[in-house]
Structure 1
Amino acid sequence: MTAAEKHLNARSSAFTARKQSTCDMEKWTELRTAFRVARLGTVSAAADSLGYHRATVNRHIDALEDELGAPIFIRHAKGYSLTELGEEVLRVAHKAEELIEDLAGHAAGIGTQIEGEIKITLLAPFARLLMEPIAKFRADNPNCRTELIVSEDLARLEYGEAHIALRAGAKPEHPDYVVSRYRKVRLNLYAHESYIRRRGMPRGPHDLDGHEFVLHPEGVRRLPFAQWVFDHVPASRIAVSSRHIGVNFQAVLSGLGIGFLSDTDVADRTDLHPVLPENEDWHVNLWLVTHVDLHRTSKVQAMLRHIRAV
């Protein structure tokens, strides 16, 4: 091969690489647009968020669907909803956006100043455990807000529904999750002094007849005392029932009934007393769970450090 031919081949290879790079960037732009439409629900909202015209958003979606060979959205009067393929696209786009933002932060030298949002999913009884870590995280990162998703449903971390999950019970076994033990929580039935003065203190598990209870309407089915509640507490003995853990806690403090509280709830309180002996079966292991693709991002690592430090 002559020097001229080598030169032409080199120029051709460089052109092909630039073309491929441009094509990849266009795909990322289209993915990011689709992600915003999926997250915000309408083309108008996505266009405003991205600073695009509506026609540009529609063009990006059409181009992405042409590339994939199938629709990613179902159009309807109220907006856009995802097809099964769209769910997969959303998962990929969410991870890509998180990773690119993380890389951009490092490149700009602002790795310690995290921005945006971090989502944590957990059961309501354990929300108090995270208040101090979140406060310290916010002090270090004043431009990053924390969203707490309180639900009994397990968030799908692989679809970007949360960055961190605080899971209770058996260790999660999902192959793409990074799981570490957080702490053990001790749960028991507690009564306030005002309740004890009014109704007396039960002498044990066989002396609960006639006593009143404050409970979640479903007994918080994923917690270990749920079956005990079903077996031992008839509906007629439930004085107050709320899905909101804070309401139930206030009801117990007001002496309206006996309720399940954690060792954290009763720490430093002298007016709440355990009703039954400690029951190992009611202890709960808590696990910190992240997705392997986002586990090493600055945002996730910073929050995990604060949670583990408390």
Structure 2
Amino acid sequence: MKHWTEIRTTFFVAKTGSISGASRALGVHRATILRHLDVIEEELGAKVFLRDAKGYQLTEVGKDLLRVAKLTDEQFSDFARRARGQQGELEGEFILTSLDALSHLLMPAVKLFSQAYPKIRVRWLTSVELMKLEYGQAHVAIRTGPKPQDDSYVVQPFAPLSVGLYASESYLQKHGVPVVESDLKEHLFVAADEAPDRLEIVKWFTEIVPPEQVVCTSNNQDLLQRTIVNGLGIGFMQCQASQIYPNVCRVLPDIQWNFENWIVTHGDLHRSEKVQAFLAILKSDEYQSKLPN
């Protein structure tokens, strides 16, 4: 691969945060590191690092290059392990991404994975942003909504979930029980601070509930559930999870959203040991038995 040595050097400068750190990690002289950086910047026609009093700061081009280098380095390391027939514990970083609302479904899998591979550090990112798996931003993504259509992805079904409207008994005693959808204009709501516009539930809420009726928002799903339980307003709750709150009641039970979820991996990393190890956990009987009915 042309300039792979220089790209790998750039990766280690970013990883260690300094020229001297990369020099020690790679076992080469500082002058070699600097020469490699000059070569890669000349090839790209753009700066990879900004050099200032704080050291070497990645530019946007540098950040993109780092993602590609990180992905390639991991693929090569995984290949080398297989080629040598190396046995032993998996280690390093494993990145999982999902919506915050799926944390209760994934927590048992993350726990089983960590117990099976204690040398792996799990980095679990909950965000509405769709991570770019082709840049190595995540090893496994759990995505909600329509099935992803990117040909470079390997997509498998994951546990579906249902969402309805819920309120606490104390709230309903004070404000009354809505009987039909039009009654909702007389009520208060709590809602997600950040929600994907691509979801039908978000479109419905935006059309039905004026902003002035929303009394609390948060980007934390657990916190939102607490606001419902404590009577601040009506809000969305997963039907499976609502069973743990005895003082919470379903509102307008005919209104329900059913969501499909998908396990998404990039084709280049799908067969890697870390990804296969996590997928095996998701498919295991032990994990499946822990999913809510």
Residue 307 of structure 1 is matched in structure 2 by 282
**Deviation of 1:205 (Å):** 1.6
Residue identity opposite 1:302 in structure 2: A
**Deviation of 1:42 (Å):** 5.0
Residue identity opposite 2:271 in structure 1: R
Q: 5+ unaligned residues in a row in structure 1: which ranges?
A: 1-23
Residue identity opposite 2:272 in structure 1: T
- The TM-score, its normalising length taken from structure 1, stands at 0.80
Secondary structure at the aligned position of 1:206 is classed as: helix
**Deviation of 1:275 (Å):** 0.8
Secondary structure at the aligned position of 2:252 is classed as: coil
**Deviation of 1:198 (Å):** 2.7
Query: Is 2:188 aligned against 1:206?
Result: no
Q: Contact 2:6–2:39 at 8 Å: present in 1 too?
A: yes
Mapping 1:31-180, distance limit 5 Å: 31-38=7-14, 43=19, 46=22, 54-65=30-41, 68=43, 70-71=45-46, 73-77=48-52, 79-82=56-59, 84=61, 86=62, 89-106=65-82, 107=84, 109-110=86-87, 113-180=89-156
From the superposition, tell whether residues 27 and 185 of structure 1 become closer, same or farther in structure 2 (CA, over 3 Å). Answer: same
Residue identity opposite 2:71 in structure 1: K
- The CA distance in 1 between the partners of 2:186 and 2:129, in whole Å, is 34
**Deviation of 1:128 (Å):** 2.0
- Matched pairs, number: 282
Residue 268 of structure 2 is matched in structure 1 by 293
- The CA distance in 2 between the partners of 1:219 and 1:255, in whole Å, is 22
Residue 230 of structure 2 is matched in structure 1 by 254
- The CA distance in 2 between the partners of 1:88 and 1:268, in whole Å, is 44
Residue identity opposite 1:258 in structure 2: I
Residue 5 of structure 1 is matched in structure 2 by none
Secondary structure at the aligned position of 1:293 is classed as: coil
**Deviation of 1:87 (Å):** 6.0
- The CA distance in 2 between the partners of 1:302 and 1:38, in whole Å, is 28
- The CA distance in 1 between the partners of 2:248 and 2:147, in whole Å, is 31
**Deviation of 1:125 (Å):** 1.3
From the superposition, tell whether residues 194 and 174 of structure 1 become closer, same or farther in structure 2 (CA, over 3 Å). Answer: same
Root mean square deviation, CA, Å: 2.8
**Deviation of 1:151 (Å):** 1.6
Q: Contact 1:219–1:229 at 8 Å: present in 2 too?
A: no
From the superposition, tell whether residues 168 and 302 of structure 1 become closer, same or farther in structure 2 (CA, over 3 Å). Answer: same
Larger Rg: 1
Secondary structure at the aligned position of 1:236 is classed as: helix
Query: Is 2:252 aligned against 1:283?
Result: no
**Deviation of 1:231 (Å):** 1.3
Residue identity opposite 1:160 in structure 2: G
Residue 192 of structure 1 is matched in structure 2 by 168
Deviates more, 1:193-202 or 1:126-135: 193-202
Q: Contact 1:213–1:237 at 8 Å: present in 2 too?
A: yes
From the superposition, tell whether residues 244 and 28 of structure 1 become closer, same or farther in structure 2 (CA, over 3 Å). Answer: same
- The CA distance in 1 between the partners of 2:283 and 2:254, in whole Å, is 26
- The TM-score, its normalising length taken from structure 2, stands at 0.84
Q: Contact 1:192–1:252 at 8 Å: present in 2 too?
A: yes
